[in-house]
Homo-oligomer: A and B are copies of this chain.
């Protein structure tokens, strides 16, 4: 997946001289995950900008560039380190168009590796997507395949609105797949049906797609037909895809690795409890991380796995 991201950046930069990158260690070092490898050489230090160690500065200056009309793509080294720039995101980036009566669009893309699974402990593992999905004015995108990573990132860079582009670092290298050539875009705001099914709907995204897929596949043998929806864009949510699936299956399991309490799954459950109530035949199950910080040595106990997802699906399907 990380090569797909690299390709998307290269494609966008080649296509439009006003696309530029900024962040820590993205230049000569090529990014700590190598997402920007080779781009400094290709596009020069005016367009691949190694910044001082300040997320406030990275995001604040990216906003200024966007106000002026450029298309900056900021990299935050780990999502866990975005908080020094959080004020610029929620107070400024998300609200510029609105507060100026539409005079100042602010199309910054913030890319950041996020999530667990690399033994990163409390500060290299968190999934705090809800801070951003709850913030009106931001779009929030999470790819789960190389093709989507490339296509969604290209859409994000040329989107008129600010986009938080959260990259599930655990599958940077683990997940491979075909990637179309050139400026092939995947639309923001549309979920992806990973597999069709009629007994239960499973909603997941990012690094939870592989274990969710495993769980669904393994249940086939037991005669359970699970539909798996990769939400892809967390905000704005593709509500009709969610409702459409549950109207068909009558049952839902939501999966994410973030903490459960007020996590993203709560919104999906709430939408269903509100708008698909009469279709629902069973409680809405949430398979999530725990309501703790992210642990180091025991991270495999923390992260939802295929077995936990499978158990939840079975329980949901068997519920009266």
Contact = CB atoms under 8 A, between A and B. Distances in A.
Q: Is the interface of A mostly helix, strand, loop or mixed?
A: helix
A136 interface: yes
Copy tally for this chain in the complex stands at 2
A291 interface: yes
Could you say which of A80, A261, A267 has the most chain B C-beta atoms within 10 Å of its C-beta? A261
A90 interface: yes
B293 A270 contact: no
Contacts of A128: 90, 134
Nearest to A80: B91
Nearest to A234: B262
Contacts of A95: 122, 293
Interface residues of A, number: 48
Interface of A: 80, 83-84, 86-87, 90-91, 94-95, 98-99, 122-123, 128, 130-131, 133-134, 136-137, 235, 237, 258-259, 261-267, 269-270, 272-275, 277-278, 280, 282-286, 291-293
16 contacts: A90-B128, A94-B293, A98-B122, A98-B292, A131-B134, A133-B262, A134-B263, A269-B273, A270-B273, A270-B286, A272-B273, A273-B280, A273-B283, A273-B284, A277-B282, A277-B283
